[in-house]
Structure 1
């Protein structure tokens, strides 16, 4: 009986042990199942040989770094295609240590050969190996379980090309592909009001919307610039931008390619061109492998100042970036003007100009610019110009175009018996010096070698450029002849004599500021009432002397007629002497 009771007790103990074992095993299996379901990365990413998997179609990116993703939507915005089938992890989970860094690469689009233009029309060339060409996208996890993998809590960075808020100007739509095309160029919208932002994430192979064909936002000039299938038909005064059959673009612009916007009288002499998008166009009869530049040489050309402020400076700004590989198409062409500035045109373009108004071909280009980039009078805004061109660059370009030898002024005393040269720009009709000989004699007494010459429309610009370049100081009354300062060597001095009539502002605008921008010293001498021949026409107490600014309310035409066309200058040589002495002092250093 006792043995039987003992056996029963043993069976009960064994039964309890079995149930306990079953419970323990069950709890372990439940726990293991919960871990597997809730944290798959704990199992899948423990091996150091595991690789991050991204779209294999992305091109190689040289500056590859480890990246930790927080949100797949951020990757999409950055132009990275994420494989949705692969496991993801969030920022509140432990960051996994990846020991074999070279194996974990992120490939991104290469932009080293693309040219990007910001809202101020400034072109910036980005290269993949320069910090300025990249945007750093920084991702950081909230916690780190393994201190060894998060030393110093360093952020994992990836560098991305800065193109997110720009639109691309090419044919109807452009594709960013894996291969770099040396000749390809990304043009971005320059007018914030016309710029279209891409609304979808940028991924390889996706298409981006284009900017408008023309930009009419500038106060001085309108300009159209386009890439793609462009057909220029002078016979119909049209420039056609060919569209694909599924394109929604429908644009038509009327442009007069001369940078004197708002001047109706001036533009009345300029041929109006039509720029439009089209799905139909005449067949090409002549193909060109270089860009086209279409502009007018009508308007106010023929006046030396306007030749430069309206054409030469804007033409340099617009065309020099092509290094001669550009085809000029001139509307309203005057053969004598082309001959006069032949050296400049040949320096900017390697091809004979096309007389737009007399041409019957259908010219086909892959890139075209209609109009010239212009800024203030006779000045370049280097913050907006292509490649940051400045008036110093223009001054250097003009001296090289005319093969001028002097790159510096004469230092007084450096060469024995060599005197600094003073060029006096004389005028015969208006704003002329009535005591020219007296002025020349005073300058010679100070130690100058004096040269007197007049720059008129019929002057041989090449010969006159040589005369100007040989001088160290140039002086003259406000007028177009002072435009020749573009041929002066650096550090030379320009002295502008301002006629009576409150004209100091326009004198500085037209020549003072441009001269300083070219690296030329500038002096401005405003005459007194006693130095003006207006005393011969009006009594001394006339309002023209007591309050000349009152006449400015009548407009510039009245100012020009009264204070410029009807006034000559009798210079007070004793008063003016100090100005020439100051210029002489500059030549001693």
Structure 2
């Protein structure tokens, strides 16, 4: 009986212990369940296991390397999360998210800026008043409030440097720095390649935050889409010319010389452009009026409204020299304006009346409208489309692959012959006209690089069967009259100089003979006239004189470096070349040597 009672007491004690254990375990499970449901962030996870991401998307390898140290702090912070309130946890997560975003964005910015800086160096693009800060290693590891501020500012302005938009435009701010119009548009370019969007990395923000940021950027007052607005686009990337193009409400006024795009945005941006294709040549640009191109909410009231596009450019610089008339104005205006088929109006600065009259045929061929004298017209001219600056390529040549309209030097030659109503587009073989003598034009020079034995060469050419014409194309010559003379000729010859520019009036298949003075000038001669002549389907013959044919022998002894090593003068710069071989030298042709050249020209006419 006693044993039975003892067994019952032990059973009751064990039952109470069991119930108490069950109760304790139940309370523990309830506590864990409550924590999981209410504060999931408070549960620690090892770095080897699954870890919730505040971004909601996997990181790229670059992003992981960048935020590695940040993630270590994140783990230790999570272990202490159980002691924080819900409000403190939310604040920490928000700060952490912005910090990670700033780290990744800054790494991306650093990479892109390095590439852009290299591209700018290769392209030889010079940007004034811009200072470039190179981030240090410490800067890349910044976090917390400092990185949060950097992340916020990155949406407002680009890092210091030169950034170009869709057409290579550079937007200048008040402090001289440059910004891309809309980094989130994905349309910012570097050397013709679209720059990726700043927030294209999926590890930066979640889609909702990214869309909200994009909307706040693109939508102005009243929800107006700023990306669709027409605004000035200035391209500073080309080595020869700066060019701006704009659409919308464009107002042009001479005081000050400005082209204003009136927009509804709050931004006031401005560019300073000298619309003449001699970029970097301070001597030439010193004679070119600076035009201010800007976007603004306000502009002067319209005095006259035009229904055709405008092209604003200068005829200052080196114009007046026949070669520069064509390389700096005639060729560029052809490339820029021919696409409009006459429905365009020219707004010109430095428009000297005698020069404008000289080339009036060309301007009237390209435009059906009167020329606006930018410097003297007080009216405010309003357009819907305007271009400031002319499209240009290398001197006196056109590469069709680089022209949007596919124009070539052949097209330019046809255009010039049409502008001056010239009769011959192509030369026929001399066998088809047996009674007609081949016609030779000798371009004479009165000052430097003169032919000193013109009469002897004329006599020799006539003995070979040529009809010879001797003339000079000076600054004040009637170019319309001279163009007709040139077009009637089969061969044109002259010493290297601006007069050879008249080859544009020759018919196709005619021959041009360029006489190259002593001094290693063959490359310059080919660059200035040879390439263009060949591109216009002319037969090109280049004749380099010997030492005996140069009058430099009357100035320097035969053992002088002028004769022994003329290339050494090239290393001293263009001024030394010009002074020694251009300004001091005349030419006396060797008749026996040059006879072979004239005979070769005859052979071209027989082919």
* Residue of structure 1 in register with 2:413 after alignment: 395
Please give the TM-score of this superposition, normalised by the length of structure 1: 0.66
Distance 2:349 2:365 in 1: 20
CA contact (8 A) 1:327 1:353 kept: yes
Aligned partner of residue 541 in structure 1, secondary structure: coil
SS across alignment from 2:255? helix
Say which of 231, 234, 243 aligns to 1:223. Answer: 243
Q: Quick check: 1:292–1:328 contact (8 Å CA) kept in 2?
A: yes
CA contact (8 A) 1:226 1:367 kept: yes
Q: Does 1:235 align with 2:249?
A: no
Alignment of 1:427-438 (within 5 A): 427-438=445-456
Between the aligned partners of 2:375 and 2:574, the Cα distance in structure 1 is 33
Q: Does the 8 Å CA contact 1:168/1:211 hold for their aligned counterparts?
A: no
Cα displacement string for residues 448-504 of structure 1 (whole angstroms, at most 9, x for unaligned residues): 111111111111000100010000110000000000000000011111000001101
The alpha-carbon deviation at position 293 of structure 1 amounts to 0.4
From 377, 387, 411, the equivalent of 1:359 is 377
1:378 aligns with 2:396: yes
Could you say which residue in structure 1 is the equivalent of 2:488? 470
- 1: distance between equivalents of 2:193 and 2:251? 23
- C-alpha contact (below 8 Å) 1:304/1:480 kept by paired residues: yes
Please tell me whether residue 523 in structure 1 is matched to residue 541 in structure 2: yes
* Cα distance between partner residues in 1 of 2:190 and 2:486: 40
Counterpart check, 1:304 vs 2:318: no
Cα-to-partner distance string for 1:38-64 (whole Å, 9 max, x where unaligned)? xxxxxxxxxxxxxxxxxxxxxxxxxxx
Q: How does 1:134-533 map to 2 (within 5 A)?
A: 192=191, 208=227, 213-244=233-264, 247=265, 249-533=267-551
Structure 2, unaligned runs of 5 or more:
1-164, 169-186, 201-210, 215-223
1:168 to 1:487, Cα distance in 2 relative to 1, 3 A: closer
Structure 2 distance, partners of 1:482, 1:573, is: 21
Listed one character per residue, the Cα deviations across residues 318-367 of structure 1 (whole Å, up to 9, x for unaligned) are: 01111111110111110100000010010011111111011111111110
Structure 2 Cα separation of the partners of residues 476 and 571 of structure 1: 11
DSSP 3-state at the match of 2:514:
strand
Map 1:59-98 to 2 at 5 A: none
Partner of residue 581, structure 1: 599
Structure (1/2) with the larger helix percentage: 2
Residues 58-107 of structure 1, C-alpha deviations (whole Å, 9 max, x = no match)? xxxxxxxxxxxxxxxxxxxxxxxxxxxxxxxxxxxxxxxxxxxxxxxxxx
CA RMSD across the alignment:
2.8
Kept after mapping to 2: 8 A contact 1:296/1:333: yes
Q: Distance in 2 between the 1:498 and 1:459 partners?
A: 24
Correspondence for 2:204: none
Partner of 1:554: helix, strand, or coil?
coil
| 1:553-575 Cα shifts (integer Å, max 9, x gaps) | 22112211211111110001111
Tell me if structure 1 keeps the 8 A contact 2:262–2:295. yes
Give the drift of 1:195: 6.4
Structure 2 Cα separation of the partners of residues 189 and 515 of structure 1? 39
Q: How does 1:22-101 map to 2 (within 5 A)?
A: none
Which structure 1 segments of 5+ residues have no match? 1-165, 170-187
Work out the number of aligned pairs and report it.
407
Q: How far apart are 1:399 and its partner, in Å?
A: 0.2
Alignment partners' CA distance in 2, 1:429 and 1:410: 35
Aligned residues of 1:168 and 1:208 also touching (Cα < 8 A): no
Distance 1:193 1:502 in 2: 37
Aligned-residue offset at 1:515: 0.6
**Within the alignment, does 1:542 sit opposite 2:560 as a pair?**
yes
Aligned partners of 2:462, 2:188: CA distance in 1, in Å? Answer: 57
- Pick closer, same or farther for the CA change 1:489–1:168 going to 2, 3 Å: closer
| Secondary structure of 2:369 counterpart | coil
CA shift, 1:416, in A, is 2.7
Check the 8 A contact 2:511/2:541 in 1, yes or no: yes
SS at 2:430 equivalent = coil
Whether the 8 Å contact between 1:258 and 1:371 is mirrored in structure 2 is yes
Q: Which deviations, in whole Å up to 9, do the C-alpha atoms of 1:263-309 show, x marking residues without a partner?
A: 00110111111101101111111100000100001100000000000
**Partner SS, residue 375 of structure 2:** helix
Q: CA deviation at 1:410?
A: 3.6
- Normalising by structure 2, we get a TM-score of 0.64
Contact 2:252 2:260 in 1 (8 A): yes
Q: 1-side partners of 2:167 and 2:459: how far apart? A: 63
